[in-house]
Chain A
């Protein structure tokens, strides 16, 4: 197809010119670059002119289509003009048609110093959460920390108290692994979210890169009697949690990257603690201090907050592990069935105790169950994608999923949990979520 006749000035404004063979070559001349800068206004006009040309072309095409008779398709507009110029978005962002895919912020919170956003699980595929959609939970906002100024202090029951720069932290042998992260209040025992995000969106999954925490502790040299590591964040909450040394020497990491890029500020940039399978709050963000001790500190977060009140008035403390859980994300609350017939049921499952070994799906409110397929690779303490092919007959249905992990633990119903724990425990609700499909195709939380 011969190139459209476009004023040469337009192309020089774009940074190139049209040689006889139609290729656009890059113009490296700085004088021309200055000229281009001065001609930005002209560029806009040129673009408008192009649009005009395209519109005229469309009219012609429409006429041709009419000539060709019913049943023909218009040629996509995107084929009849250049797209956005290379380099027009050097970081990149999602398509303009995906703007609704964002984290969910509850509009009713009393304040947003200490609050959360939920990952839009119903919009996501696979097991990796994009960094911009990773759930958030902050206790006094999101600090902006210059990595050149950030330091990690390790002190307490160590041979040599040490201060590390970020540059030094990154010199250590690195390790990458995919792990889920979940807030222990995901959700409370009386919260029935309208969507998958509102129901279970305080969970996300990423590939984390950093240094094993053990490596850093070994550098300082653990002394006898060391049993706990108290981690503190450099945020306005000075977030503090005590971590058992066993975990620190096992799979705990200090991570500086997430899905290949440096941590986002809201995920603890430049450095955070990552404790695979443990409740999100312990994964201290913006970590700047590790005190090795013989006992926990009993911070506010591990006494008055992240403790699970039981019906007898006693509260469980140091409840770390996130037990096996799953949720169907498609179809899920807020969505509408496209029609009768084939519908793939898909969702995510995870366990803080290891690998997911099985997910069962019911399409009759738990009366019967079918085993879903698990997408490989199935990774320890990571999200696992499950799927079940299904044909919707157009009648009302209630669908739900049930995860089993490698310890043999089976995800319970909410009734099974509350029969033991009551409804005021706030944390560690790993119950199944059921979605009701109406005859109209509307999907809602079956408890609403």
Chain B
């Protein structure tokens, strides 16, 4: 983001790496296009907001236009508000927010065993995904480890999914497909445990919860790379 990089740093100004980190509140940030905070306009870490930007009067004129652009683009900077919408309460947010992150944050309290999961799976999942997770109307869930680099890769929870908490997230939000969000959190933990067991990733006597899911390293955890395109020109 040119507007940001053009902000020459006055020699006398305190250079404050890390100043723009979330822990310092809404300090001036480079905006969305450049998260390289070391290039940010120097700020006093103790201050918050645009007023914290320090620059010499001599530079102000030259940088004025770019600085204005910076303020417009920066999150936290004053943007036009219309006053529409109603503040959402914590209870309202909690009732809808079912996002579970790769590191396990967002996982709810509760737990489930492989044994309990087997019963739920056989009753609610088997008809589409097969008795051993071999797939059918629904996706294959188990097996396939070691096949990703072969001519016929088999992508399953065990062979392809990089994060175990994502399995909980997905089952909770959309399975069984005819009755999404009908399972209790304990039931979702249990089905998750059983599918992990089918893939040899937990023991048959396992009882999983938020902590164990967050710390379970999946076989394909390191199997993803950034988008290199354009890779063919």
Residue positions of A touching B, CB distance < 8 A = 110-111, 113-114, 139-140, 153-155, 157, 160-164, 168-169, 171-172, 215, 218-227, 230, 232, 236-238, 240, 244-246, 248-249, 288-289, 291, 294-300, 303-304, 307, 309-321, 323, 409-410, 412, 416-417, 419-421, 424, 428
Chain B residues numbered 137-160 whose CB sits less than 8 Å from any CB in chain A: 137-138, 148-149, 151, 153, 155, 157, 160
Say if the beta carbon of B163 comes within 8 Å of chain A: yes
Q: Is the CB of B174 within 8 A of A140?
A: yes
Q: Is the CB of B82 within 8 A of A318?
A: no
Chain A hits for B169, CB < 8 A: 240, 297, 299-300
Closest residue on chain A to residue B75 by CB atoms? A222
Interface contacts beyond A153-B88, A221-B81: sample of 20 additional A-B pairs, CB < 8 Å, sorted by A: A111-B138, A140-B174, A154-B88, A155-B88, A155-B97, A163-B86, A164-B84, A219-B84, A220-B85, A224-B21, A225-B22, A227-B35, A240-B99, A240-B173, A244-B32, A298-B162, A300-B170, A304-B161, A312-B149, A316-B226
Chain A hits for B96, CB < 8 A: 153, 288-289
Contacting B162 at CB < 8 Å: which of A291, A303, A409? A303
Given contacts A153-B92, A299-B166, A318 and B227 within 8 Å (CB-CB)? yes
Q: Is the CB of A225 within 8 A of B21?
A: yes
Contacting B137 at CB < 8 Å: which of A110, A236, A410? A110
Say if the beta carbon of B209 comes within 8 Å of chain A: no
Q: Is the CB of B99 within 8 A of A291?
A: yes
Q: Is the CB of B180 within 8 A of A238?
A: yes
Cα distance, A84 to B233, chains bound together (Å): 55
Say if the beta carbon of B185 comes within 8 Å of chain A: no
8 A-B residue pairs with Cβ-Cβ distance under 8 Å, sorted by A, are A153-B88, A163-B92, A240-B173, A249-B32, A300-B170, A312-B149, A321-B227, A421-B231
Cα distance, A298 to B223, chains bound together (Å): 14
Say if the beta carbon of B111 comes within 8 Å of chain A: no
Chain B residues numbered 186-233 whose CB sits less than 8 Å from any CB in chain A: 223-233
Say how far B20's CB is from chain A's closest CB, in angstroms: 6
Q: Is the CB of B27 within 8 A of A304?
A: no
Cα distance, A311 to B147, chains bound together (Å): 11
Chain B hits for A428, CB < 8 A: 229
**Interface 1/0s, chain B 43-82, versus A by CB < 8 A?**
0000000000000000000000000000001011001111
Given contacts A140-B174, A313-B148, A314-B225, A168 and B84 within 8 Å (CB-CB)? yes
Say how far A407's CB is from chain B's closest CB, in angstroms: 8
Q: Is the CB of B99 within 8 A of A297?
A: yes
Q: Is the CB of A295 within 8 A of B101?
A: yes
Chain B hits for A164, CB < 8 A: 84-86
Say if the beta carbon of B11 comes within 8 Å of chain A: no
Say if the beta carbon of B26 comes within 8 Å of chain A: yes
Say if the beta carbon of B116 comes within 8 Å of chain A: no
Chain B hits for A157, CB < 8 A: 22
Given contacts A249-B73, A303-B162, A314-B224, A223 and B26 within 8 Å (CB-CB)? yes
Q: Is the CB of A303 within 8 A of B180?
A: no
Residue positions of B touching A, CB distance < 8 A = 20-22, 24-27, 29, 31-33, 35, 73, 75-76, 79-82, 84-88, 92-93, 96-102, 128, 136-138, 148-149, 151, 153, 155, 157, 160-163, 166-167, 169-170, 173-174, 177-178, 180-181, 223-233
Chain A hits for B87, CB < 8 A: 160-163
- Of the candidates B160, B167, B232, the one having the most CB atoms from chain A within 10 angstroms of its own CB is B232
Chain B hits for A163, CB < 8 A: 85-88, 92
Closest residue on chain B to residue A224 by CB atoms? B26
Q: Is the CB of A226 within 8 A of B233?
A: no
Chain B hits for A172, CB < 8 A: 82, 84
Q: Is the CB of A291 within 8 A of B170?
A: no
Say how far B49's CB is from chain A's closest CB, in angstroms: 10
Cα distance, A111 to B177, chains bound together (Å): 11
Say how far B185's CB is from chain A's closest CB, in angstroms: 15
Cα distance, A300 to B170, chains bound together (Å): 6
Chain A hits for B160, CB < 8 A: 304, 315
Q: Is the CB of A416 within 8 A of B232?
A: yes
Cα distance, A223 to B137, chains bound together (Å): 44
Say how far B89's CB is from chain A's closest CB, in angstroms: 8
Contacting B93 at CB < 8 Å: which of A111, A161, A224, A412? A161
Q: Is the CB of A219 within 8 A of B166?
A: no
Say how far A282's CB is from chain B's closest CB, in angstroms: 13
Q: Is the CB of B99 within 8 A of A221?
A: no
Q: Is the CB of A221 within 8 A of B84?
A: no
Q: Is the CB of B98 within 8 A of A238?
A: yes
Chain B hits for A160, CB < 8 A: 87
Cα distance, A410 to B232, chains bound together (Å): 9
Q: Is the CB of B22 within 8 A of A223?
A: yes
Q: Is the CB of B75 within 8 A of A297?
A: no
Q: Is the CB of A313 within 8 A of B225?
A: no
Say how far B177's CB is from chain A's closest CB, in angstroms: 5
